[in-house]
Structure 1
């Protein structure tokens, strides 16, 4: 006999080919529409030099192991990455993608808006770089104040994989802060800021007096109840 969750489509979907789960049909219907609300906007003061860049610290791990041992197919959330970058690029700031290993960017593909022509076109435009990103340890050697205006960490549960423990990520953030540039982090992306605490005393944490808007653990816990996640976050 099927459970109530199975009947209403609230059970995470298991994929034996990757031994991992993706969100339930019900949760995808609620939280992953096939078209976004993106509207192209004109920026009268957009930079036209073609030189301004945004460093995108991306995820190269695609599997998150939950507390119960179940595997979740994760990565960067495509909407939370691409819509931000679409606006930034329209304003004259071009993305440069980097991962910890230099391996291709992993995505929560199940969240891709498959009927959104603008997002599809943007991804296609940058596909070569998404497949061949820089290694973070190498790109931080090439940062210069005349080109890089911001560092961006998108959302997606994958943001907790590797980035918070990385000294290279810490170095990247430190460079942008030292040079009075912008830090942009959304949803799960703020987890990467934990890297700034590596080898530091609590009183020396550079963001200790700042407030932060991010997805709370309670949000992920609710995700378990509706089948978005197969188990609690580690």
Structure 2
């Protein structure tokens, strides 16, 4: 099977107060699914808008920060996880020369079994603004492809509309980075959008884990969604099961 991984190319996020906040993609949300997809024997391509090399959010590879984005009391070894993220990111040549989304056509999309959109706050800055990404996802929907997104990767879905102007995922059960999780970040009150609010406004049946930062994955038809970075493993495993169904 062949999977397309879509990532943000933004290295900063423009906040409401004018600050250009250092950002990018979230390491766990790329590394964990990427490794699981490869371990399952699948071919994986990486694409960004403009083919620009993505920038990792430095806090996502900081072992002193990772304890704040996982459930309290989990058995994770933050230092080992951070080291593994750095190793994989440094050894993955596709991150240095990703495919430009603009070069992918309808026939190219047909060659993929599934599309996975990775997250990170940087995604807010470019994924919902790309006409080319919206077209790519419209082709994927029309071709009945499996789609998975995690955390802020859901911003890629916001601009989609069908021929009648409706959001194609209206009425779908889904999860995404929650408002309660946004409120404990250092960008609280300054973000251009809150995914839980936006998805609900568009008609999603939003749900989340009972415990903040806990893993939560939802499948509804061909869409698989994960709530937060800690959902990356379960999301990837669920997506692989969907692809094999």
TM range (shorter): 0.5 to 0.7
Counterpart-to-counterpart distance in 1, 2:59 and 2:104: 29
1:122 is matched with 88
The alpha carbon displacement at 1:216 in A equals 2.3
The alpha carbon displacement at 1:186 in A equals 0.6
1:70 is matched with 19
Counterpart-to-counterpart distance in 1, 2:5 and 2:18: 30
| Deviations 1:192-233, CA, capped at 9 Å, x for gaps | 101213x8655x321112111001233212213xxxx38621
1:213 is matched with 175
1:138 is matched with 103
- Give the greater-gyration-radius structure (CA): 1
Counterpart-to-counterpart distance in 2, 1:180 and 1:201: 19
- 2:34 aligned with 1:85: yes
The alpha carbon displacement at 1:96 in A equals 1.0
The alpha carbon displacement at 1:141 in A equals 5.2
Unaligned runs of 5+ in 1: 1-51
1:180 match: secondary structure: coil
1:191 is matched with 155
| Deviations 1:17-64, CA, capped at 9 Å, x for gaps | xxxxxxxxxxxxxxxxxxxxxxxxxxxxxxxxxxx3211111111111
Counterpart-to-counterpart distance in 2, 1:177 and 1:96: 19
Answer whether contact 1:85 1:95 (CA < 8 A) is retained. yes
Answer whether contact 2:182 2:188 (CA < 8 A) is retained. no
Equivalent runs, 1:1-234 vs 2, <5 Å? 52-112=1-61, 115-116=80-81, 118-126=84-92, 128-140=93-105, 143=108, 145=110, 147-197=111-161, 201-202=164-165, 204-224=166-186, 229=187, 232-234=190-192
1:162 match: secondary structure: helix
2:226 is matched with none
Number of equivalences? 175
2:223 is matched with none
The alpha carbon displacement at 1:122 in A equals 2.9
Counterpart-to-counterpart distance in 1, 2:60 and 2:84: 15
CA RMSD of aligned residues (A): 2.2
1:75 match: secondary structure: coil
